[in-house]
Amino acid sequence: MFIDKVNIHVKGGDGGAGCMSFRREAHVPKGGPDGGDGGDGGSVIVRADAGVSSLIDYRFKHHFKAQRGTHGKGSRMHGARGEDLILKVPVGTVVRFYDEESKEAGELIADLTHDGESVVVMAGGKGGRGNTHFVTSTRRAPAFAELGEPALEGWIQLEMKLMADAALVGMPSAGKSSLIAKISAVRPKIADYPFTTLVPNLGVALTSDDYSFVVADIPGLIEGAHEGRGLGHEFLRHIERTALIVHIVDLTGDWEGRDPLQDYEVINSELALYADELAARPRIVVANKIDVPGTEEVCEKLAQRVREDSIAAAGGNEFAPSPIDPKLYRISALTGQGVDALKNAIGTKVRELREAAREQERSTPRYDQVWELRRDARDAAFEVHRLSDGVFRVEGPRVERLVVQTDWENEEAIAYMQHRMKRMGVDKALEKAGARDGDEVRILGFAFDFESALMADDMFAELED
C-alpha cells in the first residue's frame, strides 16, 4: 500500500520545574537560595531523510511525544534536558497543521525537499528557574521558583509528494509503464487493459552521457480526473512538484478506440483544470506506438498541433523560449525505437530546469526557517478584550503559558509573573484598552486585580527578565 498522507498528534516535552531550596550548613540556620533550574523539555522535530521511502511508520502509531525535562533540585542541581523526538520522513514531505475536528489540513509549516532538512513542529517547554534567579537587593531569600513551561501540542499532517524530475502522464494504456521499463530498472506491470498501474512507479534513468534523473510513471488520467474521476486525481498532485511533464500520446487510440488528438487535448485540459500553473509547466510530448502500421497520418497531425501549442505558449512568438518543446518525440516503447533520443532529451531538459531551480533557491529564504520565525512572533503576541465594564481578558500563547507556569499559592511567584507581564507590555496594553484600578483581568481560568497586579511596584524590576 502506498501511504502518502497521515495525520499525527505531536507533543513537545514539558519543562521541568525550578526548585525552591536554601543552603543547609552546620551552624547556619538558613543559608542562601540554592534551588536548581528545571530542564527544558525536548522538541518534536520532523526531518527529511533520504533513507526513508514512505510514511508507513505513521500508519498505525499516531501519538508522538518528546521527553520532558526533569525538575531542578537543591544544591543548585539543574534538571536534565528532555530529548528531542525526531520523526524521520521521506524527502519531499510537506508538513501542515491539521484540524482534527474539521478534518482539514491547515497552514503550511514546511516543505522538506532536501535530505537532512528539518523543522521544529512543537517546541518543548522551557524549564522553570530555581529560586537562585530571583534574589534582588531587597529580597535575599526568594521563597518561590518557576514551574516548568507546558509544551506545545497539536495535530499535524504529513504528506509525501513524489520527488521525480519528470512525470510520465497520459491516458490509460498509452504505454507509460512500458516506457519507464525501457529507460530505468523498474519493472512495473504492463498489460493491455486500462488502469494497470494503480500507484506511481519511480525509476532512475541515465542519459548516454551518464546524467541521472528520476522519472515517475503515473496512473492513467481520464476526462474529469481533476474532479476525481478515475484514479488519476490522487496522483495529479504529485505532478505538481515534478519539474517536467512528459506527455505520452497513444497513436493507436487503443483504449476505447479514441482519437489520439482528442486524447492529447483532454490530458492538457485536465492538467490545466487541476492547477493553473500546470498549464505552463515545461512539457515534452511523445507519440508512442509508431511501430503500429497506419499511424503515420495522425502522427503528423499531432506534430503540427504540438508545434502550434509551443508557439502559442511562447506568446505567439516562434523564436521565443516556450515551456512546450516544439518537437514531437516519436517512439515505440515496445521495440525501443526513438527511446534513447527521448531519454536524452528529457535528461537535457531536467538538467536545465535543475540549474534554474538552484539559482532561484539561492535567492529565496528556506521556508521552514521563515515559519519558525513567524511562529515566535505569533507566540509572543497577545490581545486584550474588554468583556464588560471593568472586566478584561488577555489572550496569547506566551501570556497564557506564563500564567500556567506560576504557583498561584505563592504570593512571591505571582509578583514575579506580574513582573514578566509588565516586561511583555501587558500592563500598557490594558491601560490603553481602558483598564483602571480595581478592574478585573482574566487570563485562562485565572483572575486578578489590575491595580495590584500590574501597577504595583515591581519588586523584581532589577532582574533581567
Ligand X SMILES: Nc1nc2c(ncn2[C@@H]2O[C@H](COP(=O)(O)OP(=O)(O)OP(=O)(O)O)[C@@H](O)[C@H]2O)c(=O)[nH]1
Note the residues at the interface with ligand X (CB under 6 A).
Answer: 170, 172-178, 190-192, 194-197, 219-220, 288-289, 291-292, 332-334
Task: Quote the longest CA-to-CA distance of the chain.
Answer: 109
Question: What number of helices (H) and strands (E) belong to the chain?
Answer: 10, 18
User: Which residue's CB is nearer to ligand X, number 124 or number 220?
Assistant: 220
> Residue 347 binds which entry of Mg ion, ligand X, none, with Cβ cut-offs from 5 to 8 Å by kind?
none
CB 157 within 8 A of CB 97: yes
> Around Cβ 195, how many Cβ atoms within 10 Å?
15
Calpha distance 202→186 (Å, rounded) = 7
CB 447 within 8 A of CB 390: no
**Cα-based angle 230, 234, 238 (whole degrees, multiple of 5):** 130
Minimum Å gap between C-beta 99 and Mg ion is 36
> Residue 174 binds which entry of Mg ion, ligand X, none, with Cβ cut-offs from 5 to 8 Å by kind?
ligand X
User: Which residue's CB is nearer to ligand X, number 202 or number 391?
Assistant: 202
- Residues touching Mg ion, count (CB under 5 A): 3
Contacts of residue 293, defined as CB under 8 A and 6 or more positions apart, other chains included, come to: none
> Residue 194 binds which entry of Mg ion, ligand X, none, with Cβ cut-offs from 5 to 8 Å by kind?
ligand X
User: Which residue's CB is nearer to Mg ion, number 196 or number 348?
Assistant: 196
> Residue 16 binds which entry of Mg ion, ligand X, none, with Cβ cut-offs from 5 to 8 Å by kind?
none
Minimum Å gap between C-beta 197 and ligand X is 3
Minimum Å gap between C-beta 198 and ligand X is 8
Half-sphere exposure of 91 (CA within 13 A, CB side): 10
User: Which residue's CB is nearer to Mg ion, number 177 or number 406?
Assistant: 177
Minimum Å gap between C-beta 215 and Mg ion is 13
CB 153 within 8 A of CB 230: no
CB 37 within 8 A of CB 78: yes
> Residue 288 binds which entry of ligand X, Mg ion, none, with Cβ cut-offs from 5 to 8 Å by kind?
ligand X
Minimum Å gap between C-beta 165 and Mg ion is 19
CB 264 within 8 A of CB 185: no
> Residue 124 binds which entry of ligand X, Mg ion, none, with Cβ cut-offs from 5 to 8 Å by kind?
none
> Residue 209 binds which entry of Mg ion, ligand X, none, with Cβ cut-offs from 5 to 8 Å by kind?
none
Cell numbers standing for residue 220 = 492513467
Minimum Å gap between C-beta 216 and ligand X is 12
User: Which residue's CB is nearer to ligand X, number 95 or number 180?
Assistant: 180
Nearest to 220 by CA among 171, 289, 175, 253: 171
Half-sphere exposure of 434 (CA within 13 A, CB side): 9
> Around Cβ 259, how many Cβ atoms within 10 Å?
12
> Residue 172 binds which entry of Mg ion, ligand X, none, with Cβ cut-offs from 5 to 8 Å by kind?
ligand X
Minimum Å gap between C-beta 262 and Mg ion is 21
User: Which residue's CB is nearer to ligand X, number 268 or number 310?
Assistant: 268
Contacts of residue 342, defined as CB under 8 A and 6 or more positions apart, other chains included, come to: 183, 284, 286, 329, 331
Beta strands in 316-382 (DSSP E): 324-330
User: Which residue's CB is nearer to ligand X, number 41 or number 203?
Assistant: 203
Minimum Å gap between C-beta 186 and ligand X is 12
**Cα-based angle 254, 346, 293 (whole degrees, multiple of 5):** 30
User: Which residue's CB is nearer to Mg ion, number 85 or number 215?
Assistant: 215
Taking CB atoms, the residue at the shortest distance from ligand X is 220
Residue bearing cell 551518464: 210
Minimum Å gap between C-beta 219 and ligand X is 6
Q: Is residue 157 near Mg ion by the rule CB under 5 A?
A: no
Minimum Å gap between C-beta 157 and ligand X is 28
Q: Please report, as residue ranges, which positions from 80 to 119 form the binding site for Mg ion (by CB under 5 A).
A: none
> Around Cβ 128, how many Cβ atoms within 10 Å?
29
Interaction mask 172-211, Mg ion, x per CB under 5 A: -----x------------------xx--------------
Which sign, positive or negative, has the C-alpha torsion 336, 342, 344, 347?
Answer: negative
- Residue ranges binding Mg ion (CB under 5 A): 177, 196-197
